[in-house]
A and B are shown apart, each in its own frame.
Chain A
C-alpha cells in the first residue's frame, strides 16, 4: 500500500536549520508532486510548498520564501524539506503528503520539530 514514512523528531536551537525526510513506497515516486504542510501546536494546517518529484521543480508559499528548500532523491524515493533560520514559531508538526486527486491522498506520520534554546 502507499506509504510516506518521515524521519524522527528534531530539537533545534533558534537560528539553526532542520532537514526532514519523507520516504515513499507503494507507488511510482515520480508520478506525483509531493507537498509539505505544517501544524503548530493547537493551530490549523499551513501549506508550505510542493516539489515536482520528476523534474525537481519547486513552488513555495510566500511565508517561507528564502527559508525553505525542498529536494528529492529519486534513486531512494525520498523527498526532503529543509527549513533554515528557525525561530520559536517554527515549532510544529511537519507533514509530507500526496494531494493529487488521482493519488491516494496519503500523509506521512508527521515529524515534530521543536525550536528551543
Chain B
C-alpha cells in the first residue's frame, strides 16, 4: 500500500501569511493527488485534484503543485475562513490513502 505523510502536522499562522503544506507518497503516484479542507463539524471539501487543478468555486489563493512523490498545497494569503485541517489523498493505486492531516490554526 502507498503511505502518505504530511508536514507539518500542525501550524500556527496569521491572516495574510503564505502557507505551504507538503505531502509525500511512499512511491510515485504521478499527479493522482487531491487536497481536502475540513473545518470542525463539517464535511470535507475538495480543493484541488490532479495535484494542481483547482476545484470549481475554490478561491485562487489556493494552489497545488508537485508530481511523483512530493506535493504541496499553498495558500498565498491566509484568510480567516482558511483555518482548518487539510488532508491529501492519493488515488493512483487502490487502496487509496489519505495523509494524516495538517491543522492550521490562528497564531
Partners in one complex: yes
Q: Is B55's beta carbon under 8 Å from chain A? A: yes
Instruction: Verify A105–B87 contact, CB threshold 8 A.
Output: no
Chain B interface residue count, CB cutoff 8 Å, equals 24
Q: Mark A83-117, 1 if CB is under 8 A from B, else 0.
A: 00000000000010001010011011110000000
CB-CB < 8 A to B44: which residues of A?
A: 45, 95, 107
A99-B91 contact, Cβ under 8 Å, with A35-B96, A47-B96, A110-B43: yes
A44–B49 CB distance below 8 A: no
B34 within 8 A of A: yes
Given A44-B100, A95-B43, A110-B43, the answer on whether A62 and B95 have CB atoms closer than 8 Å is: yes
Q: Could you tell me the distance in whole angstroms from the C-beta of B21 to the nearest C-beta in chain A?
A: 14
Closest Cβ neighbor of A95 among chain B residues:
B43
Whether B71 sits at the interface, judged by CB under 8 Å, is no
Chain A residues in contact with chain B, CB under 8 A? 35, 37, 44-47, 49-50, 59-62, 95, 99, 101, 104-105, 107-110
